[in-house]
Amino acid sequence: MANCIIAQSGGPTSVINSSVVGLLQANKDIKAFNKVYAGLNGIEGILNENIIDLSSFSDSEINTFRYTPSSGLGSCRYKMKNIEESTEEYDKLLDILKSKDIKAFFYVGGNDSMDTISKLGKYAKQMNIDINFIGIPKTIDNDLMYTDHTPGFGSAAKFIATTALETYLDSSVYINNGIFILETMGRDTGWLAASACTARINNKPIADFIYLPEVAFDIDNFLLDVRKKFEENNKVFIVVSEGLRNSNGEFITEVNSHAHDKFGHAQLGGVGAYLKNLIITSGITNRVKSLELGVLQRCAIHCASDIDLKEAFDVGYSALKFALEGHSGYMVSIKRESSSPYIISHTLIEASKIANKVKYFPKELINEKGNHIKEEALEYFLPLISGIPSLVIENNLPKFKTIEKVDVDVSTN
């Protein structure tokens, strides 16, 4: 009986390991493959033959792994060359996979990972190599095309909304309150910032303003809005995406920074501090605080959405079934059948249609002034943040399991 392999790529999420466990469970139920291997640190690790046998871990270890945040198999941001440029990496990778009798390759990731799946699927078919390549979606940014949402987003959204509620209350306790700015991730899209519209007290949104990259940010209008609201309420709560762009289409934080990652993406962050300085300089008030949520958005398993954990598991489960049907070069997609009651199904979409593309937050769900989210958006967000997960607890803290090569010897097939 042949084997399969799974790896993780790109930025982590709090539920990414649940997709790995879903695939393991599918193989356990269907008994399709003899072994389920894992490539540690994605494609980069596989090319270095850093591969372990997941099938040898106990059920207890795997269950703990399911409730462990971040990429438990390690990750990478490794961009394979275009096939037209060089096939050396592709040939090496396929030789490694063939040496372990691997017939299905699963990659858990986002846009760039689907680019890898598309390229590998195309090349394997071109070379008449019998290995199926399937993408499993993940990203907290929720920016993958042709899927209703991505596993990882619901938990990040829940963490953002919860933190918004808590910091709003913390910043509202004095007679003379100030201005609070909450900065979320979101390089190109505002899905994460927009999810703060679910943070409500007495059924009223606690955020006075929410700013997304989908609308050009106007400094003058921003200061006018904040000044007016502060004069009315003596406090202002603002949620802002790190990817805010000015009228020239430039990232606000990129104007003064030239740092980029290996894929050429600008290294963002700090827009909250930038806006804080604008407010103070304008003379509205000196009582301004900004909080950059940073990596907590993608690793806060203690505030995860249970439905998100389940859906991450289910896409991993479906990925194995789709591979057995002979599909290759595709990503598992989530289709929303209904919001109330909440019902989804899984389909396949060509990875090439997802690779290097962006799904933006719908402008029709942004108010006319471009500084808040319409009520209709709640129907989309609320099902994704439902449920509280039952974490594995040890010594009154969450118990986590990471997987390293030293755990298992896979010197033979």
How does DSSP assign 151-216, residue by residue? Answer: TTHHHHHHHHHHHHHHHHHHTT-SSS--EEEEEE--SS--HHHHGGGG-EETTEES-SEEE-TTS-
Classify each residue of 253-283 as buried b or exposed e, where b means 16 or more C-beta atoms within 10 Å of its C-beta.
Answer: bbeeeeeeeeeeebebbbbbbbbbebbeeee
pTM, rounded to two decimals: 0.93
- Picking from 334, 380, 388, the residue whose alpha carbon sits closest to that of residue 198 is 380
Q: Are strands 36-39 and 51-53 parallel, antiparallel or unpaired?
A: antiparallel
- Picking from 50, 55, 20, 19, the residue whose alpha carbon sits closest to that of residue 34 is 55
Predicted confidence (pLDDT) per residue in 270-305, tens digit: 899 999 999 999 999 999 999 999 999 999 999 999
- Picking from 31, 41, 33, the residue whose alpha carbon sits closest to that of residue 4 is 33
Residue carrying structure tokens 């909304």: 161
- Picking from 190, 188, 189, 171, the residue whose alpha carbon sits closest to that of residue 180 is 171
What single string gives the DSSP state of each residue in 113-136? HHHHHHHHHHHHHHTT---EEEEE
Predicted confidence (pLDDT) per residue in 128-150, tens digit: 999 999 999 999 999 999 999 99
149's CB contacts (< 8 A; 6+ apart) are 142, 334, 336, 384
Residue 255 confidence (pLDDT): 54
Cα–Cα distance, 332 to 330 (Å, whole number): 7
Residue 409 confidence (pLDDT): 42
Cα–Cα distance, 47 to 186 (Å, whole number): 30
Residue carrying structure tokens 């300089």: 281
Q: Are strands 204-205 and 102-109 parallel, antiparallel or unpaired?
A: unpaired
Predicted confidence (pLDDT) per residue in 9-31, tens digit: 999 999 999 999 999 999 999 99
Helices 306-324/16-30 angle, 10° precision: 50
Active site residues: 141
DSSP 338: E
Low-confidence ranges of the chain (pLDDT < 50): 256-268, 406-413
Residue carrying structure tokens 């997802």: 354
- For the chain, the average pLDDT equals 93
Q: Are strands 204-205 and 200-201 parallel, antiparallel or unpaired?
A: antiparallel
Check if the beta carbon of residue 287 is closer than 8 Å to that of residue 145: no
- Helix (H) / strand (E) element for 289: namely strand 288-292
Q: Are strands 288-292 and 236-241 parallel, antiparallel or unpaired?
A: unpaired
Residue 404 confidence (pLDDT): 81
Q: Are strands 3-8 and 330-339 parallel, antiparallel or unpaired?
A: unpaired
Query: Could you tell me how far CA 387 lies from the centroid of its own chain?
Result: 19
* Residue length of the chain: 413
Contacts 24+ apart (CB under 8 A), 365-368: 365/194, 366/194, 366/212, 366/214, 366/215
